[in-house]
Chains A and B, each alone.
Chain A
Amino acid sequence: MILLNAILAFGALAAAVPLAIHLLNRSRFRQVDWGAMHLLESVLQTNQRRFRIDQLLLLLVRCAIPIILALCLARPVLTGLRQLRGDSPMSLLIVLDNSYSMATRDENESRFDRALKEVEKVVGSLARGSDVNILLTGGVPQPLFDQSVRDTDTLLTRLRGVRPGYDRSAVDTSLDEAAVLVSSMDHASREVLIVSDFQPGDWGQLEASRLQTFRSRLDLAEVPVEVTLIPIGSAAETNLSVEILSAPTRSQIIGDRVVVRAEIRNHGNAAVDQRRVQFVIDGNLVSESTVTVAPKGSSQVVFRTSFDEAGSYLATVQLDSGDRLELDNTADVAFHITDAIPVLLVDGAPGRRPLEGETDYLALALTPNTFGLGTGRDQFSTSTVTEKKVSAVRFEDYAVVVLANVRSLNDDVVTRLREFVLAGGALVVAPGDRVNVDWYRERLSAGDEPLLPGTFRKATTNNASVRVVDAQYRHRGLAIFDEPGNGRLSETTIRQWFPIDASEASALAMLSSGDPFACERMLGNGRVLQLAIPVDQDWSDLPLRPFFVPLMQELMRALAERGETSRNLNAGDVAILPVVDEASKTVTVESPTGERRSVEIIGDASARTIQFAGTYFPGAYSMSDGRGNKTSFVVRARRDESRLELLDDAGRQLLADRMGAISVGSFEEFEEQSNTRKNGRPIWRTVLVALLALMLLEVYLQQRFARSPQ
């Protein structure tokens, strides 16, 4: 036990006063010559022992009163065996859940708003000199500051700018991060507060060993660290959420039909009827529908649209739900609509009649509508040149260059081709009977960074046919063969081919002869696809296969994507976006929270991009260049936290037990325990009650032992 006002404990010496008074009274007695001694003696003889006990008892009570009073004034505090923190500074790490479930409204405020208020109080009550940091757990765990700070005003100002709505709490990595942050804090007294709604989906899945590891890491620190779990919020029995199930993941061509499939999920126990779902593109309502969802069930809604102009578009599926969590009632998806992909076909052996040239079948496959084979707009636009005129072409005007049965090229063209690929362009090399294998070997397949992925050997001359080996093709260009209805690439009969010496890793598919059907490599920002056969029917019946058209289109499209990531990312992914503006040095990226950041453009004139890593908050982002061009991209939000159940007290206690922490029911309870840990358990009230009891006892004994004269 310690005494907060120890100096006042010396008042206990006043216990000597009643004793002194007693002794003084006994010594300063009055003398009376008494006649009725027989009465007095009779009384004294009968009650002498009792009188002594009564006097002693009363004296003890009277001596105890000043002792107890002094103890009460000295503010005793029970401490057990611990050294108390008192008002000395401490280090505090607050692990604050800012995932989207914390945006759930409880009464008039969200869980996060409530958490903010309480955290502010806690921070405000810290002793001067304490250092604090806050680790936000939503999505990708981020500390508010790289190092803990002592300027609580600055910390609170920054904290007030934080919003809930991040992806689900990354509990596992948050604990790791917390252990690291705590280890670098300043003071000997350290505490970790974990403030969260403690959803079973986030916290209940943690294995005991994981939690014990966290505790072990804290115990490795040179000082003990106390951990407290503080729950926020109440469970919600009903909630609806929207999630994009499927949407185009890569650029779409003008006129393409864009299909967005969304899932409406009912996390509650009651059915919901006729809820309106709207499909909005760039703020404009395009279409709407209604859904009925069974309890704990889901319904899908499909929206279809197409775009007439190239550009970046943001589509949102909005659910009219009215539940306590609004953030999961919308889902965004970004589209990039482009004009037809320009493809340059270099025909090494043009024909005089249709389909006699090396690239005729390919041109037909890429632009069927242009040739009147269909309606609508072609996704590709093709330009065909001969081998002799290729030197006059600007490769940077195209996304893909196809060399079909080109014998050889001059050095300048080769150099420009290399630059074209390095800058992000795609090159397809389809051999034929005119190919100068030695030239290809020496000029395109040699060196440390050859242009081609492999080296052509002499074409086979025997008449044995081969087929493409059936396999689970990894290349996106061959993804069409994942659908059984699209046929099998192995149906192609290949009569003649060029064996290619290349690594197995670069092969898209293999022939039954053991040679690659096609090889690919990345070079800089671009790609090179080397085929073993021509793209006409000279050596195979590939162009005659029904899948030739979609195969060529998918291959070209796959090659044309210049290494950019999808416009629809996961939280934490780096967004790599091309920048059209050639003059600006920076772009501005605006996040869903309204934060605007300037990002530097990297790359040269042929390929300018930005890399934006601040994709922590799910939602729609916007990149603007100096010319006002806007590009939308979306960070997807998972809906793991839309089921708004919370861990009960027993669950939280189990969690706490496993990580050697304390689980409290509220901030008020934490404050009380914190005061106890800080100052011990004050018992002055108990002592005060004891004092009052003693005083009453003294009065009672006094009255009992003495009576007023009648």
Chain B
Amino acid sequence: MPSENNLLTAEDLRRYGGLQVFARQVVEGFFSGLHQSPHKGFSVEFKEHRAYVVGDDIRSIDWKLFGKTDRLYIREYEQETNLRCTILLDASGSMAYRGTRSGGLSKHDYAVRVAASLSYLMLQQQDSVGLVTFDTHVRKFIPPRAVARHLIAVTDALEKSSPGGETELGRVFHEMAAKVPRRGMLIVLSDLFADVDQLMKAIAHFRQNQHEIVIFQIWDPDELDFPFERWTQFVSLEEAGKQHLADPAQIREAYLAKLEEFREKIKRGCSRQRVSLVPMSTNQPYADAIAAHLALRRRSG
């Protein structure tokens, strides 16, 4: 396992550098306008100029001012309050679902990329980022840190995370509520395929500690519109041996009704708990997640 003190092999660079590079591309692409965000009205406000010192990002140099003054200044933006953010990544079996319209990505893959992008962003903003991966219990807990090199640990954990097992969101959240006592932001990346009532109780537990919670509910487009035509044997990704043979055309309407009911319940529950719920689909641009986070970040403070 690589650390910041070890020499990085080519493979390491290729491997670990991939997600980081991806995350940086997503974030910088967002800011450069390559990735259009549906979250309108967001902007990072300019605060002041300060003299360039060695080590500053040369991309922050205001060349226009240099043209005027012949001195190097960097642009400084509105600094957000330093935030302790913990990303909770659902690695249960249901997150392994990979539809045909998600570009080959499972929900877990998508959530990993979102988590990486958000981690990069927050570290760039000198916020603290931590990571928790879980299924029926917490698999990995990386406490939040604000150093840039913490990204390696986070992306390493993300890279190694693979979905499987059942879901026990409620128990995990209760467990994490005890582990993350300090007030901060919790970013949940999950499909929330669990008992909603238990989940809301756990969220209420978090809210007692005055955590700000953002839930990115990850969906695959197939789960949202149930496009299957032929007779299909649905095999559970969480419980071994559980499968059902059904005519999708026959059950589609009922499934969608049930889906709507489920989503509505979660929405109501989150609203009651004053939890931000951001539905995301695996065919949706990652920049949407970035924009949503920044909007929420700004609102909180």
The interface of chain A, by Cβ under 8 A from chain B, is 25-26, 28-44, 46-47, 51, 54-55, 705-707, 709-710
Contact = CB atoms under 8 A, between A and B. Distances in A.
B237 A40 contact: no
Nearest to A46: B254
Contact of A51 (B94, B227, B228, B251): B251
A35 B233 contact: no
A25 B231 contact: yes
Contacts of A37: 94, 234, 236-239, 242, 244
B191 interface: yes
B246 A34 contact: no
Contacts of A706: 249-250, 252-253
B95 interface: yes
Contacts of B236: 33-34, 37
Given A32-B228, A32-B233, A41-B244, A709 B252 contact: yes
B96 A28 contact: no
Interface in B104-126: 107
Contacts of A40: 234, 244, 246, 251, 255
Interface in B167-206: 191, 193
B95 A35 contact: yes
A592 to B, nearest CB: 85
A38 B191 CA distance: 12
A46 B254 CA distance: 9
Contact of B232 (A32, A38, A54): A32
Contacts of A51: 246-247, 250-251
A54 B246 CA distance: 13
Contacts of A47: 251, 254
B7 interface: no
Contacts of A41: 244
A643 B163 CA distance: 107
A29 B256 contact: no
**DSSP class of A's interface residues: helix, strand, loop or mixed?**
helix
Given A33-B237, A44-B244, A706-B249, A39 B232 contact: no
A706 B249 CA distance: 5
B253 A26 contact: no
B223 interface: yes
A705 B252 CA distance: 9
B7 to A, nearest CB: 40
Nearest to B92: A35
A236 B96 CA distance: 96
A25 B230 contact: yes
B226 A709 contact: yes
Contacts of B230: 25, 28-30
A31 B237 CA distance: 12
A44 B232 CA distance: 13
Contact of B231 (A29, A44, A46, A707): A29
A707 B251 CA distance: 9
A576 to B, nearest CB: 99
A35 B244 contact: no
A706 B248 CA distance: 8
Given A25-B231, A710-B256, A33 B97 contact: yes
B96 A33 contact: yes
B225 interface: yes
B201 to A, nearest CB: 18
B95 A29 contact: no
15 contacts: A29-B233, A30-B230, A32-B235, A35-B237, A36-B94, A37-B94, A37-B242, A42-B258, A43-B251, A43-B258, A51-B246, A51-B247, A51-B250, A706-B249, A707-B253
A26 B245 CA distance: 8
Given A29-B231, A37-B238, A43 B193 contact: no
A186 to B, nearest CB: 65
B77 interface: no
Given A30-B233, A43-B254, A706-B252, A36 B244 contact: no
Nearest to B221: A709
Contacts of B235: 31-34
A53 B255 CA distance: 18
Contact of A709 (B95, B220, B225, B242): B225
Contacts of B144: none
Contacts of B42: none
A705 B95 CA distance: 30
B107 A35 contact: yes
Given A28-B230, A36-B94, 15 more contacts: A25-B247, A28-B231, A29-B245, A30-B228, A33-B97, A33-B235, A35-B93, A35-B94, A35-B96, A36-B223, A40-B244, A40-B246, A705-B250, A706-B252, A706-B253
Contacts of A32: 228, 232-235
A55 B246 CA distance: 11
A341 to B, nearest CB: 115
A90 to B, nearest CB: 57
A39 B242 CA distance: 14
A51 B255 CA distance: 13
A585 to B, nearest CB: 101
A46 B237 CA distance: 22
Given A30-B230, A44-B244, A39 B250 contact: no
Contact of B191 (A26, A35, A707, A710): A35
Contacts of A25: 230-231, 247
Contacts of B256: 707, 710
* Top 10 A-B pairs, shortest CB-CB distance: A35-B94, A706-B249, A35-B97, A34-B234, A29-B231, A707-B253, A709-B225, A43-B254, A37-B236, A31-B233
Contacts of A707: 252-253, 256
A428 B237 CA distance: 142
B227 to A, nearest CB: 5
A36 B107 CA distance: 12
Contacts of B232: 29-32
Contacts of B244: 37, 40-41, 44
Interface in B55-100: 93-97
A55 B250 contact: yes
A682 B236 CA distance: 57
A657 B233 CA distance: 71
B193 A35 contact: yes
B152 to A, nearest CB: 30
A22 to B, nearest CB: 9
A40 B232 CA distance: 12
Contacts of A34: 97, 234-237
Nearest to B95: A35
Nearest to A38: B193
A60 to B, nearest CB: 15
